[in-house]
A and B are shown apart, each in its own frame.
Chain A
Amino acid sequence: MKFGKKAIAAVGSLAMLGSIAACGSNSGNANSGSASSDGKVTLTVWAWDSTIPRTVKGFEAANPNIKVKIVNAGTSKDEYTALSNAMQAGSGAPDMAQIEYYALPEYVTRGYMQNVADNGAKDFGDFYTPGTWASVSLNGGVYGLPMDSGPMAWFYNKEVFDKAGVDPTQVKSWDEFYEAAKKIRATGSYITSDSGDAGFFDSMTWQNGAKPFDTSSDGKTVTINLTGDDKVKGFVDWWQKLISEDLIDTKTAGWTDDWNKGLDNGSIASLLIGAWMPYNLLSGAPNGDGKWRVTQMPTSDGQPAGSESGGSSLGIIKSDDKAKVDAAYKYLEYVTHNKEGIATRVEAGAFPADNNTLNSPDFLNVTSITDADGKAHEYFGGQKFNEELATAAKNVRAGYKFLPFEVYARGKFGDFVGKSFTDKQKLSDGVKAWQDDIVSYAKQQGYSVKE
């Protein structure tokens, strides 16, 4: 080596030279935790859900040969991106991953997910709510198990509604909601906010009974019919009215600091959102403590109906390593099916997907939520909010299907429909443009498309 010691000393500050030289000879240090000789297995799990890490302790105590490493590889789309990358590259993928229901069909289609039906999961059908079970039972297999669910419910700030003289429990139909929105607007607040959210759009059309997407049983033909579906149109027309008359806040993007402030001070008076919201409200809108309540969603005809928003499955990434898959299944079972595992997560704010918990008095009678410091808050003023949410879970309409490339489609929603919220474009025109883009994408990807 010409890099003599003296020479290195001469640039003392640049002492990293040694490590660069070492870089060439260092290899074989990259394993993603496979079964080692002593029978110990390390599982890498990608999940952003904050309740998942809590299950590790209990699981490892019961399974001393399995070590679980939870990695937050990004939220939702960021994680899927990383997962696709790693799968494409054939290295760096985790052993298990949290995948939202809407994204699961895509990764099953791509062949990333392990079918766990024969590990015992095929008998779990009655254990979960019908909606969540349908979301993981795809193409005749079971590709993951439900971690949580997010039936849509109406969370509202009672103080603001009282001021406007509106009682949301009496607001059943979309028309009544529209009238309520006007009264709320008269107080200066907005009844809710939406600046173009694909998930919300999906949930609302789903609730209205729309079935815009379908995939043929051989997986090669997709139906994309947003523009021709009456139920989609029903939602679009109603929502357009609220946007045009400035009855909903289209200037505040969801999940921003401004949004939290709006919820905190009552300028955004209510939310149509998934049942997992209570903990977010407590941490994001602390001043709403005691003022908020929950009730059922308004529907187009006033009859009870529901849909899901969000909610995730936990799945095993396809692998030939049987020992690995078996270990992963054990953890999967613990998190999603084991009583103790589920309870650990529900305590921390996860909204359950299993019937036992949804029907248990312990769960239904809860009136307070616990913050990060362990302090209990009667955020909903003593209301048994889980009772309302469990009812919402039962009302979820069956049979809604996601696209096999829903992640892409949702990513593009904002590009085309966003302008309907911030600009003068009509909502229906935005939806039309969105449909055109999804259709051309599907064709590029080799699908036959029915519109």
Chain B
Amino acid sequence: MNRGDKFARIAALRPARRHVTESPAPCISETGTGGDRLAELLGARINRNNYGEHLSLLQWYATPEICSPDARSLSLLLPQSADLPASVNAAIDPRQWLFLDTETTGLAGGTGTYAFMIGIAWWEAGGLQVEQFFMRDLNEEHSVLLELAERIKLRPVLVTFNGKSFDWPLLETRYRMTRSFRDISPKLHLDLLHPARQIWRLRIGSVRLRDLEREVLGRDGRSLDWSRHDDIDSSLIPQMYFDYLRRGTAEPLVGIFRHNQMDLRGLAALAGKILALFDSGHGIANAPSAETHDAIDVLGLSRLMRKRGHSTRARELYETALRFGLPRSVERLAQRELAQLAKREMDYARAISLWDALREVPCRGKHKENGCPLAEDARRALEAAIDAAEQLAIYYEHRAKEPQRALDLIQAAIVELGEAHDSSRLPKDHTSRIQSRLLTRLLRLQRRCGATPLFRRSKARARAVDTTA
């Protein structure tokens, strides 16, 4: 029997069915292997060291320019720990920073994923020096890793975008697999994804680097010196590399080099922008006004401050953002969070004014007949109003010792919730949780006020409560 036949039947030898990628037609150059062709196309050179060879490309760009962080702003960027002052000292000189971005054979991580291109960048001679290492085949990895280790020793403050969860753990694994390197860790690692998310996700929705470039970096009146116009689709990168490995198809890789260069420049520009925002945040409370999109950025900043525990600074910024003027949905969020902050700092007057503002939901009764679910915004407004009622009730019950006012509020909230439930304005599973909370408070308040029970625990319908409407 034909053994080839036997192997042909084995499902395990067939690639997974859902793999649908169009690989470009093979075009092996006449001048030599794919690696040679690539070097030719890029103008890259061959690096040699103790562990072998690899391809390396050096480019210098005038922008983004070096930034000059101050200690206060920097401390907002660094991880919070007892060692913060020491970290700030280590990071204060931006010429010690090393930007890093890798291109890999997949997102699976683990030991079967390779970082076939490692791009690094640093500020030098008034501009950004970019160096890219490339493995022409998988056995060139060792020499690439040696170069990287040496660069990190020189500039031990690593700056990445999502590097803490992806790029660096992958590189650590690659180092471990070589069994030759020890202590290659940088002194500090700044991952800009987290602050970027906290500041800009509200306004932009996503936090992909190219979206940030477009919406944040490119908006200052200065446009970026590079364009993502015909940037490659990064999900195709692994397959492009595999095709190159198997067939020597070098042309698409030029696009990967370009993509990586733009990522590194974007990263450097982002670092500058974040620090500038922190800097300006210090003085912003006095600014008279700003465009709306800046106001949302200020809000993002205030949330970051709040998360870092700088409540006073955060409150200042929240107030500023509100003063600048925010779109309704975002304004509500700001009001809710500021109210919580104010409450925690015992500034009840401010908290109450915010909660009262949230209670003013336009046209509440108008949609009673309409059975269709309302737009997202109206839903959120209603939720916020009910939540504000609850917060006010908590205040009146426990702080102001005015249980009757609390009771009124809770009853109103239950009515609103019931209406929302009936007209399907809020999803059912959601309302039941809120409902049980409100009912618990209601019963307790009723006992304290000595009021006659108006509700049975199992019903949420507010038939007898016209008095509060």
A and B interact: no
Binding site for A on B (CB under 8 A): none
Binding site for B on A (CB under 8 A): none
